[in-house]
Amino acid sequence: VGVLPMDESKVIMKGRLGPGMMISVDLINGE
């Protein structure tokens, strides 16, 4: 999905980030 190889079943939500929106990634746990 997107630019990284990822299992489609693990995707919770798809869309674009808009003004004031944020994305969070846990690099230690891979979440």
Dump pLDDT digits (tens) for 1-31.
457 777 888 788 888 889 998 888 888 887 6
Q: Which residues contact 1 (CB under 8 A, 6 or more apart)?
A: 8, 11, 14
Query: Is-contact 1 11, C-beta < 8 A?
Result: yes
Q: Which residues contact 9 (CB under 8 A, 6 or more apart)?
A: none
Q: For residue 16, what pLDDT is reported?
A: 87
Q: For residue 1, what pLDDT is reported?
A: 46
